């Protein structure tokens, strides 16, 4: 068995914890590979040889690791070092008991839908297609002007949004930016996408939940700069007429879970920081 342990270069405690975890694992005859969660090259080289990835950090770290490891279906165990997150499973206080259960194979794996996004300019791809675990956002650049986004689902015209931007979110992303923009919450095991505008101006405002097979096309109309963002990371500058195609990815993100299957409902209110 080989486990990768990814520490966070900007969180000092993560180095110490990573070392403790590695030692603990090696004492139990586990092959361990330690690295920084920002060292994309090294991680990518090792992914094929690993059975499990342990990532120390917050939801942002887990999003990045999930995108990197998506093609390997590698189960990820998140150790949360930030505020209460939606993706991490264990905490600095309980990692020994948790890892013991992992070594005993006493866990289940939760697969989360990822989306795949392609950009086309004049009918040709711009860059490679990319997978996202939270959402893809087409939005205005630095100038505070609306973008117009002509939207089709399965090649049927839906509407033209006039808005700050348009989000296509996964169920995982439904508790992130899509929630801020007014979207519904989707149970994490769903394979649907949610389409919704950000600050729509006299255009359709309601989120649309599409089936797993849906192919969503967003054609950008703007006189200014527009940008494409995936999981909160800038991805590409968009020009007037660019078409962004979003659909379910064949890859999924896999997370190791130790709690009950329906944990999501029970913990939702706390994670949303509602007091009632």
Nearest approach in angstroms of CB 245 to its own copies is 15
Q: Which is nearer to its own copies, 46 or 160 (CB)?
A: 160
Strand 165-169 versus strand 135-140 pairing type: antiparallel
Distance CA 103, CA 28 (A): 9
Report how far residue 15's alpha carbon sits from residue 12's, in angstroms, rounded to the nearest whole number: 6
SS3 258: coil
* Closest to its own copies by CB, 209 or 258: 209
Measured in whole angstroms, the distance separating CA 127 from the mean position of its chain's CA atoms is 20
| C-alpha torsion sign, points 229, 231, 235, 241 | negative
Smallest separation (angstroms) from its own copies to the CB of 139: 6
- Residue 163 contacts residue 146 (beta carbons within 8 Å): yes
Closer residue to its own copies in complex, CB, 70/186: 186
State in angstroms the smallest separation of the CB of 229 from its own copies.
4
At residue 98, the 3 state secondary structure works out as helix
Q: Give me the catalytic one of 31, 39, 51, 59.
A: 59
Contact 254, 109 (CB under 8 A): yes
Cβ-based neighbours of 57, under 8 Å, separated by 6 or more: 6, 8, 11, 14, 37, 78, 79, 80, 81, 82
Q: How far is the CB of 28 from its own copies (least distance, A)?
A: 33
Q: How far is the CB of 70 from its own copies (least distance, A)?
A: 21
What whole-number distance in Å separates Cα of residue 198 and Cα of residue 215? 20
Neighbours of 248 (CB within 10 A): 20
Closer Cβ to its own copies, 108 or 157, answer by number? 157
Residues in the site for its own copies, rule: CB under 8 A?
137, 139, 141-145, 152-160, 162-164, 174, 176-177, 179-187, 189-190, 192, 194, 196, 198-204, 206-211, 214, 225, 227, 229, 232, 234, 260, 262-266, 268-269, 272-276
Report the C-alpha dihedral over residues 175, 181, 186, 191, rounded to 10 degrees. Answer: -100
Does 59 participate in catalysis according to the annotation? yes
Which residue lies nearer to its own copies by CB, 78 or 200?
200
Exposure of 255 by Cβ count < 10 A (0-12 exposed, 13-18 middle, 19+ buried)? buried
d(CA 274, CA 266): 13
- Cβ nearer to its own copies, comparing 78 with 183: 183
- Separation of alpha carbons 218 and 133, rounded Å: 19
Tell me the closest approach of the beta carbon of residue 97 to its own copies, in angstroms: 22
Catalytic residues: 59
């Amino acid at each position: 068995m080989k486990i990768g342990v990814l520490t966070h270069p900007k969180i000092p405690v993560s180095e110490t914890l990573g070392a403790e975890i590695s030692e603990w694992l090696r004492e139990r005859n586990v092959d361990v590979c330690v690295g920084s969660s920002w060292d994309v090259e090294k991680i990518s080289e090792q992914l094929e040889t690993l059975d499990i990835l342990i990532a120390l950090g917050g939801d942002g770290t887990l999003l990045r690791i999930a995108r990197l490891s998506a093609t390997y279906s590698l189960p990820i165990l998140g150790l949360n070092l930030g505020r209460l997150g939606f993706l991490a499973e264990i905490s600095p206080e309980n990692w020994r008991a948790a890892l013991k259960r992992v070594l005993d194979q006493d866990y289940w794996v939760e697969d989360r839908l990822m989306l795949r996004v392609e950009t086309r300019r004049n009918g040709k791809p711009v860059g490679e297609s990319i997978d996202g675990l939270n959402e893809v956002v087409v939005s205005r650049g630095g100038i505070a002007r609306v973008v117009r986004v002509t939207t089709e689902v399965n090649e049927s015209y839906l509407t033209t949004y006039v808005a700050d931007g348009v989000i296509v979110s996964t169920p995982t992303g439904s508790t992130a930016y899509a929630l801020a923009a007014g979207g519904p919450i989707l149970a994490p095991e769903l394979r649907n996408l949610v389409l919704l505008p950000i600050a729509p101006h006299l255009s359709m405002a309601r989120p649309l939940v599409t089936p797993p097979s849906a192919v969503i096309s967003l054609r950008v109309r703007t006189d200014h700069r527009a940008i494409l963002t995936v999981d909160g990371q800038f991805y590409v500058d968009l020009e007037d007429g660019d078409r962004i195609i979003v659909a379910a990815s064949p890859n999924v993100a896999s997370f190791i879970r130790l709690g009950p299957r329906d944990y999501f409902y029970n913990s939702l209110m706390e994670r949303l920081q509602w007091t009632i």
